[in-house]
Amino acid sequence: MTPEQISNQFSIDGTVATIKPFGNGLINTTYKVRTSENDSPNYLLQIVNHHIFKNVPELTRNIERVTSHIREKLEAQGAHDIDRRVLTPVKTNNGEGFYKDDGGNYWRMFLFIEGAHSYDQLTNIKQAEAGGRAFGQFQKLVSDLPGEPLYPVIPGFHDTEMRIKNFNERVNENPVGRLEEVQQDVNFLLERSDEYKKIIQMGREGKIPQRIVHQDTKFNNVLLDENDEVLCVIDLDTVMPGYVCYDIGDAIRNGANTGKEDDPNLDNVGINMELFEGFIKGFLQETNGILTREEKETLAFGAKLLTYEQAVRFMDDFLDGDKYYKTDSVKHNLIRARAQIKLLKSMEENFDRMEEIVSRYV
Ligand code: ADP
Ligand code: MG
Ligand code: MG
């Protein structure tokens, strides 16, 4: 079916004028649907990547619960411009949250958020603060979602114990004979395996609560307005139960690196402490009142944890012959793993300062 035919399955105002591919997301396929009338809204149409997300109905329900809760809270606060402050799902004509076509694709629709933009890469402190604030606001808004826990869209996504167990098995198996050339890097990671089980253990012992986390806290999932002020966070597919340090930790891993995630020149890679501070400042401004003392003490550690975990995942896939991540070359996963290891070393060297910065904004 064409995107035009699909659009007509949804309960939209006005008549469809044009449909064009939109944005530069890597996971879902996205279109902008323009309507012809001046007073009817535009829409965003997406095919959900069901190879990554196996249970689209549960994922859709998570997003419905979270977005309608946020909308209610914004309304109760008397906020203005609410259609730009939270994603608004649009139902099908049959009242469903998605439309499954003959080819097995899952389509969904949101109101198009007008006058918004995002950046793939952030370059200054103001943007880092906006990133921290955006995910902090999100955390605050969902912190009192009633009802049962959300559906775990990707079970074990940040189960560090499980990832380390799998990694150990891979190292012992050495399935494609790549271990020898990376033994030093592997040792670096294995030496740290006990340290990075800490968050899972604290959770199990009840020292930190399970919350709702976003889990894809890249800066291009933050929509900003004309003045670069935060509108909202988007891309809610991975919203699920987890610990708060995962979100800010991954935002920092992604956004406060002086190099690229797959930088072949390790001299470029390290933690940018100014951007780190911006993220922490923005995040804690929003969440100071809701996080426990123990949780606040995990925030700087979270940046290291998410970097460690990503290094393990890249190295694991390298040892496995590149089955999971798309690669440009035979060494791509190794280059990525080494860049994460370099970033982790840089965070370890700066960790006292990172903790000191957190304590300043608590
Ligand atoms: P992906 O998982 O592929 O990254 P996203 O949900 O992030 O998919 O959407 C891809 C792009 O589409 C985003 O980067 C953003 O620029 C844009 N986008 C997503 N939702 C909306 C919306 N409701 N209104 C306007 N633009 C949007
Ligand atoms: Mg995205
Ligand atoms: Mg996504």
Mean of per-residue pLDDT scores for the chain: 96
Read off the pLDDT band of 23 (50, 70, 90): confident
Residue 237 φ/ψ, nearest 5 degrees: -60, -35
Is residue 26 predicted with pLDDT exceeding 80?
Answer: no
The domain that holds 158 is classified in CATH as: 3.90.1200.10
Cα 332 to Cα 328: distance, rounded to the nearest angstrom = 6
**Contact criterion met (CB below 8 Å) for 13 and 35:** yes
The amino acid occupying position 95 is G
**Contact criterion met (CB below 8 Å) for 87 and 95:** no
Residue-number span of the structural domain to which 25 is assigned: 3-111
Percent of the chain whose pLDDT exceeds 90: 94
Is residue 263 predicted with pLDDT exceeding 90?
Answer: yes
Residue whose Cα lies nearest atom 7 of ligand 1: it is 235
Read off the pLDDT band of 103 (50, 70, 90): very high
87/234 same-domain check? no
Is residue 344 predicted with pLDDT exceeding 90?
Answer: yes
13/85 same-domain check? yes
30/104 same-domain check? yes
Is residue 28 predicted with pLDDT exceeding 90?
Answer: no
195-215 pLDDT, tens digit per residue, is 999 999 999 999 999 999 999
99/134 same-domain check? no
Q: What's the 333 CA to ligand 2 centre distance in angstroms?
A: 22
Q: What is the pLDDT of residue 55?
A: 95
The average pLDDT across 124-129 equals: 97
Q: Kindly state whether residue 281 falls inside one of the protein's structural domains.
A: yes
The domain that holds 20 is classified in CATH as: 3.30.200.20
Q: What's the 256 CA to ligand 3 centre distance in angstroms?
A: 20
Residue whose Cα lies nearest atom 12 of ligand 1: it is 23
72/165 same-domain check? no
Task: Choose which residue among 223, 225, 236, 239 to substitute to test ligand 1 binding: the one with the highest number of ligand atoms within 8 A of its C-beta.
Answer: 223
203/104 same-domain check? no
188/263 same-domain check? yes
Read off the pLDDT band of 38 (50, 70, 90): confident
Residues near ion ligand 2 (Cβ under 5 Å): 25, 221, 235
**Contact criterion met (CB below 8 Å) for 211 and 241:** yes
Q: Kindly state whether residue 118 falls inside one of the protein's structural domains.
A: no
Q: What is the pLDDT of residue 295?
A: 98
217/348 same-domain check? yes
How distant, in Å, are the alpha carbons of 103, 108, 283, 295 from that of 9? Answer: 15, 10, 39, 44
Q: Kindly state whether residue 259 falls inside one of the protein's structural domains.
A: yes
Task: Choose which residue among 138, 235, 238, 239 to substitute to test ligand 1 binding: the one with the highest number of ligand atoms within 8 A of its C-beta.
Answer: 235
Task: Choose which residue among 44, 51, 52 to substitute to test ligand 1 binding: the one with the highest number of ligand atoms within 8 A of its C-beta.
Answer: 44
ipTM of the shown complex: 0.98
Task: Choose which residue among 28, 30, 216 to substitute to test ligand 1 binding: the one with the highest number of ligand atoms within 8 A of its C-beta.
Answer: 30
Q: Kindly state whether residue 119 falls inside one of the protein's structural domains.
A: no
The average pLDDT across 306-316 equals: 97
Instruction: Decide the pairing of beta strands 240-242 and 211-213.
Output: antiparallel
322/199 same-domain check? yes
Q: Kindly state whether residue 116 falls inside one of the protein's structural domains.
A: no
Nearest ligand 1 atom, CA 26: 3
Last residue of a domain, one of 89, 111, 133: 111
Residue whose Cα lies nearest atom 5 of ligand 1: it is 235
308/220 same-domain check? yes
Last residue of a domain, one of 84, 111, 138: 111
140-176 pLDDT, tens digit per residue, is 999 999 999 999 999 888 899 999 999 999 999 999 9
Ligand 1 site: residues with CB under 6 angstroms?
22-23, 25-28, 30, 44, 87, 110, 112-113, 116, 118, 220-221, 234-235
Read off the pLDDT band of 1 (50, 70, 90): confident
129/104 same-domain check? no
Q: Kindly state whether residue 257 falls inside one of the protein's structural domains.
A: yes
Q: What is the pLDDT of residue 24?
A: 77
Read off the pLDDT band of 243 (50, 70, 90): very high
Nearest ligand 1 atom, CA 87: 23
Number of structural domains the chain divides into: 2
Q: Kindly state whether residue 120 falls inside one of the protein's structural domains.
A: no
Last residue of a domain, one of 80, 111, 142: 111
Residue whose Cα lies nearest atom 4 of ligand 1: it is 25
43-71 pLDDT, tens digit per residue, is 999 999 998 899 999 999 999 999 999 99
105/129 same-domain check? no
Instruction: For the chain, give the number of residues.
Output: 362
Q: What's the 201 CA to ligand 3 centre distance in angstroms?
A: 28
Residue 18 φ/ψ, nearest 5 degrees: -140, 155
The average pLDDT across 266-270 equals: 98
Q: Kindly state whether residue 117 falls inside one of the protein's structural domains.
A: no
